[in-house]
Chain A
Amino acid sequence: MACFRMLASVPEEQPPHDVWTLVRSRTKPTRVRPLVWLHGLVATGLRKAATATAAVALLALGYYNVALVNPEPQVSQRQPVVAVYSDDPLAGHTDAVIASIDDM
């Protein structure tokens, strides 16, 4: 009885709100949408500038791939010399014409 009385004398305390409902609503797994997040985070002007910069960088990379990866053969300072016998001084030229046609 004494124990009962002691327990009965303890004032009843109740949370002012349903905290757990709130916690559950906040911790519920939500779909991550980085672009929405970015949209909210970065100003529109800044986003446009960043997109334009990325596009220019891609263009430069593309140009590098197309034009510079297989550049024109550099003519060295010391030009190659084709030895042609005086018997057939134009042999090198005609042989090059034939070889170029063969490569087609």
Chain B
Amino acid sequence: MRVFSRWVGIWVLVMVALSAACAADSELAISESQKDQLKALASNTRDRTGRERDALRRARAELLQVYSNYDLDEHKARAARDKVSAAQLNLLNIHLDNEIALRDILTSDQFQAFRNLMKRRMRDPQMLVLSPPEDAILDKLPDKQMLDLLGIPAEQRKRLEPASGNIKAIQGLRDSSKQLLDLYAAFDLDSAAARKLIGSIHRRQAYLLMLQHYRQKAIRQVLSEDQFQTLRQEIAKRIAEHQPRRERQRRR
């Protein structure tokens, strides 16, 4: 009986030690003060990104409005593009600020544990950079079906084909973003290198905006005003078809 009790005791001790080890591994050991600082940082970053994303959405809508008129107002288009570009850069800087602040709060070991926690949460997603929805529509349309409807001759269609620079810019943007995320993975953050990459990403974002603008100008050079209005109606129809059901219900 005594032997059995002894074994049970040993087992209980081992289990307690194992549980403690597992708990220490899965939970981030931080002080209450650090926790408060992190919560404040998260709240601040959420507010800032929220504001910038709203500004970005408004600027995108403004740009779309400018491009919906046949007579392209260069001044308005430039102003809207500048707003989009500023919001894009602000967002990149907010992400960097957040990373720097995170390192001011956590120690190297805590940062590593936090990253592991995050990795489990994100499951190492493979980042895929896409164009914003409005951009994608403007890049892809008018498609062959629409051009057939508008009766555009073959030699003029070439001018309306999506620019190959677009794909290259998206790929470059994806690569730079990946490099920046790799920088953010290390505790010793090289801020100068990060700012350099932010500059590179932002240049590509600006280039994408310019390509979009050139395409809009090309559309107006090829299409008459009537054809442009028909195209607008077709694009509106296509957007309505592709809009998520929830959004359509919300608008009703």
Contacts and interface: CB of A to CB of B under 8 A. Distances in A.
Interface of A: 35, 47-48, 51-52, 54-55, 58-59, 62-63, 66-67, 72-73, 75, 79-104
Nearest to A55: B7
A90 B7 contact: no
B121 interface: yes
Nearest to A85: B132
Nearest to B173: A86
A93 B184 contact: yes
Nearest to A100: B118
Contacts of A104: 28, 30, 35, 38-39
Contact of B7 (A54, A62, A99): A54
Chief secondary structure at chain A's binding surface: helix
B125 A88 contact: no
A54 B5 CA distance: 12
Given A91-B49, A97-B98, A101-B41, A85 B125 contact: no
Contacts of B135: 86
A100 B111 CA distance: 12
27 contacts: A48-B3, A52-B7, A55-B8, A55-B11, A59-B11, A66-B15, A79-B123, A80-B126, A82-B127, A84-B129, A85-B132, A85-B133, A86-B131, A86-B173, A86-B205, A90-B91, A90-B177, A92-B125, A93-B181, A94-B49, A94-B94, A96-B118, A97-B42, A101-B41, A103-B121, A104-B28, A104-B30
